[in-house]
Amino acid sequence: MSLSLMLFSLSENRYVPAHVTPHTIDLAALEDISNVSSPELVGFWSSPPRIKICQGVNVKKSRIEKAVRFWEHLGYEFGEVYFDDGEWGSPRGCVPYPGEIAFRIAPQGMSFQAPDGSTYMALTRMQTIVGTYELISAEIFVQYVANYEKERMVEHEIGHALGWLHNDSSYHIMHPLWPRGGHRISGVHKTDYDVFSTLLIAQE
Ligand SMILES: [Zn+2]
């Protein structure tokens, strides 16, 4: 694929309003609404993100660390994985600090309903700096605790939190439909990430 083709498809699929500062990107996990044919980035981390597990999120640290290792094998780096002990008690609850990916409890009223009537297993929301596409923080909301035990689910969500969109090739880790996904990793190595990050910056 030539660089211009990649640039074209990047701008074609850009749906994030650029006037919000910093802007928030909501990505639904494992949904049925994507026709993205190659993985693309909406943002990137310029330094390794820490991963916070918020109070009340009933998941073992080892499950999250397993998903982190999946991405580390592809060349990505992360800070520590830690449990938020609630010490700082923000009135907004457990939110990610800059430089963090947080696994949070979904707030009351958060909808996991897809437009086609299917249900999202999880939602990932990111904040980026306008203009640079640098990720500030990311939040992952999982609808049910049982979903954490679904194979590949945490790995897929961390993929979004890194900035990746969907890939509709069969058995891909970023496939939008859980039953059709798998452990394929074409196009989402750290070397791909670095290329797409450069393209994101260049298109400004
Ligand atoms: Zn997804």
Q: What is the pLDDT of residue 153?
A: 93
Q: Which of 8-17, 18-27, 106-115, 136-145 has the highest mean pLDDT?
A: 136-145
Q: Is the pLDDT of residue 88 over 90?
A: no
CA of 173 relative to ligand 1 center, distance in Å: 9
> Both tokens of residue 36?
């993205």
Per-residue pLDDT reduced to its tens digit, 93-126: 788 989 999 999 888 888 888 887 888 889 999 8
Whether residue 155 has pLDDT greater than 80: yes
Q: Ligand 1 centroid to 200 CA: how many Å?
A: 20
Q: Which residues surround ligand 1, an ion (CB under 5 A)?
A: 29
Which is it for strands 81-83 and 23-28: parallel, antiparallel or unpaired?
unpaired
Tell me the two tokens of residue 111: 């909808």
Pairing relationship of beta strands 122-128 and 23-28 according to DSSP bridges = antiparallel
Decide: 146 and 24 in contact? Cβ < 8 Å.
Answer: no
Q: Taking 80 as the threshold, does the pLDDT of residue 83 lie above it?
A: yes
Write down the pLDDT at residue 191: 94
- In the chain, domain spans: 3-202
Is there a contact between 200 and 47 (Cβ–Cβ < 8 Å)?
no
Q: How far, in Å, from the CA of 57 to the mean position of ligand 1?
A: 20
Cα 178 to averaged position of ligand 1 atoms, centre (Å): 9
Q: Identify the DSSP state of 43.
A: -
Q: What distance in angstroms lies between residue 122's CA and the mean position of ligand 1's atoms?
A: 8
- At residue 109, the pLDDT reads 86
Residues ≥6 apart with Cβ < 8 Å to 87: none
Closest CA to 30 of 147, 110, 193, 194: 147
CATH number for the domain formed by residue range(s) 3-202: 3.40.390
- Determine the Cα–Cα distance for residues 199 and 202; give it in Å rounded to an integer: 5
CA dihedral 50, 167, 124, 139 (to 10 degrees): 10
For residue 121, report the distance from its CA to the centre of ligand 1, in Å.
9
In whole angstroms, give the CA distance from residue 173 to residue 70. Answer: 10
- % of the chain exceeding 90 in pLDDT: 43
Distance CA(115)–CA(105), nearest Å, equals: 22
The DSSP bridge pattern shows strands 100-104 and 50-53 to be parallel
pLDDT for position 39: 54
Q: What distance in angstroms lies between residue 79's CA and the mean position of ligand 1's atoms?
A: 23
CA of 67 to the centre of ligand 1 (A): 15
Distance 156 CA to ligand 1 centre (A): 6
Could you tell me if 139 and 149 are in contact, meaning their C-beta atoms sit under 8 angstroms apart?
Answer: no
101 phi/psi in degrees, rounded to 5: -110, 125
